A = this chain, B = another copy of it.
Amino acid sequence: MRDAYHEDLDAISHVLVEMANLVGSAMSRATTALLDADLQLAERVIANDDAVDALYRDTEAKAFEILVRQQPVATDLRQVVTSLRMVADLERMGDLALHVAKVARRRYPASAVPPELRATILQMGHAAEEIVAKAGSVIARRDVDMAFELEKDDDVMDGLHRQLFQAMLAPEWANGVEAAIDIALVGRYYERFADHAVSVARRVVYLVTGERHDAPA
């Protein structure tokens, strides 16, 4: 049986996985809202971000309480401190899903996505969902191999991101400035979402192996 202290650490780890699920679901719905110009869905994503923020605050408070009361050392200390960083990444991912939903709301009843970019945005939405699902598994199972897989998914996201820009800067682009601005920002939200998921995975690798793979850009 585990002691109360390690149960606290496990509880934090569970909340991180739950947050990964929540922000993955938020990004999935935000993508649908964006593609289908579904205002109701966009509003729900926007409203639900409060739940992510609440988990963020609770987890931060709980991690801090563990530091104060239990004075963890070595691996346990590293786990608590790393959790503080991961929870911040996940909270930010929730914000990015919210931003996508806000673009959908701003353009309603139109869709912010021109027909020729629907497939690319859909793929970016899928890539975002998959990468955060994997990040959740990495947290839950401390799966270092899967953490490296995320890096490849992030390359896919970067490739899709480049496709967006190629389409907007091609002579055939006939959707004007407003659509280009929306797509440029939305593209960046997806790309940053994936970056934060990679960052979460790298922190788990650091936790497990003691080796850093998170040279900042």
Residues of A at under 8 Å CB distance from B?
49, 53, 56-57, 64, 67-68, 71, 73-74, 77-78, 81, 84-85, 88, 91, 95, 98, 165, 168-169, 173, 176-178, 180-181, 184-185, 188, 212, 215-217
Contacts and interface: CB of A to CB of B under 8 A. Distances in A.
A112 B164 CA distance: 19
A98 B184 contact: no
Contacts of A181: 165, 168-169, 180-181, 184
Nearest to A165: B181
A217 B68 contact: no
* Identical subunits present: 2
Contact of A81 (B64, B177, B180): B64
A74 B67 CA distance: 10
Contacts of A85: 84, 88
Contact of A53 (B56, B71, B88, B216): B216
A49 B216 CA distance: 10
Contact of A177 (B98, B180, B216): B180
7 contacts: A57-B216, A64-B78, A68-B74, A71-B71, A177-B177, A180-B181, A188-B188
A177 B135 CA distance: 35
